[in-house]
A and B are shown apart, each in its own frame.
Chain A
């Protein structure tokens, strides 16, 4: 391989650098997350806030992830870079996986860093916050896989962003429910292992199969 060759590692850093240069765009979903999660404690009476916190944060995160996915492939499809990627030596599924990893680092990691702050807003006990963070962490790979597939299918379409949300939300219901079951169980002093393992299993399948399915969806879009 030549010094200037196209490698997975180069593509990964390329994606990261690109996202870093668009940091104003990248900050928007994080801003959305903070804004919306501050609305719930404002809108509800104070005493309902701790009860409400896990569900509110889960739904807000779900929507932030969907918001961030709108541009996952759109620019690449529109400016023709996607066609270049399809002719690359590396399988498209691997390239998609690399891109999604960069996406996770740029968009979702900052949300996790801000999670203790929202925990303060909702006056959450630290162990609940820990279980909530764990459930979100295990849920995001599946959310990214489902949303990435929808983003690939909607990439070239008018109203693509709305379609992405319409397609992903019903499919993402189990992630939300298992995540909240986990928090609910731990709040009631029960073992949350079953829900945790189920989320983890879905995450493993999503990481393994998701990029391949997304690559196939991108190929359909290119026809």
Chain B
């Protein structure tokens, strides 16, 4: 069933149909979410106005992990079935993943300065996000070193899978230091500890960011299909 959609002949028009939906979700929710988050949402009782950087920081952090997970899934498909569309997905994703990881680190630093008094600490979350950025870089470096796209995809798949196994271990290894980053306030037992008027725009931004990613990946994959057909 899934493999049927993975055939480039079927995937190409399907992606073409989905792209405008992703684009408009990205544009509309992004505009509404940003305006709501930055202008309408109430001022935080503890963090004041500074918390509003959350509307970029948190969705980017989610994206950095979501993109890696999607890469790990496609890596499995590449290694087991040599699925072409999965290869394309793997080739298109790490650049975007690295960008979102970079945005997460930069916005996090800017948020850290007023809240913690420092741009950077070697705490568990920050360190594992930085290592994630380095893993993205490693995958991109390998991609750049191999001219043959299919072979590059399989090499990238190997590193992605090993990295995916490694990420919880990295998280665990750095968790042994005490952590400064605030705990989870959204996906936690007993429901979110954020007021709905702050939470709704956050989810809008998350949806907008992921639509942006899907829109770009589909666009890129269609280009790769066109190029391989030509």
Contacts and interface: CB of A to CB of B under 8 A. Distances in A.
B152 to A, nearest CB: 10
Interface in B149-173: 151, 154-155, 158-159, 162-163, 166, 169-170, 172-173
A181 B159 contact: no
B170 A174 contact: yes
Contact of B162 (A158, A178, A213): A213
B180 interface: no
Given A163-B142, A167-B142, A173-B173, A220 B134 contact: no
A146 interface: yes
B131 A173 contact: yes
A159 interface: yes
Contacts of B81: none
Given A173-B131, A173-B170, A166 B151 contact: no
A72 interface: no
B146 A157 contact: yes
Interface SS majority for chain B? helix
Interface string B36-53: 000000000000000000
A217 interface: yes
A166 to B, nearest CB: 5
B198 interface: no
A216 interface: yes
Given A153-B158, A173-B131, A220-B155, A167 B138 contact: yes
Taking residues whose C-beta sits less than 8 angstroms from the other chain, chain A's interface range is: 20 to 34
B173 A223 contact: no
A107 B160 CA distance: 28
A202 B142 CA distance: 25
A166 B141 contact: yes
Contact of A177 (B134, B162, B166, B173): B173
A149 interface: yes
Interface of B: 79, 131, 134-135, 137-138, 141-142, 145-146, 151, 154-155, 158-159, 162-163, 166, 169-170, 172-174, 176
Given A170-B131, A170-B134, A216-B158, 11 more contacts: A149-B162, A153-B155, A153-B159, A154-B142, A169-B134, A173-B170, A173-B174, A174-B169, A177-B173, A195-B176, A217-B158
- 5 A-B pairs closest in CB distance: A170-B134, A174-B173, A177-B173, A167-B138, A174-B169
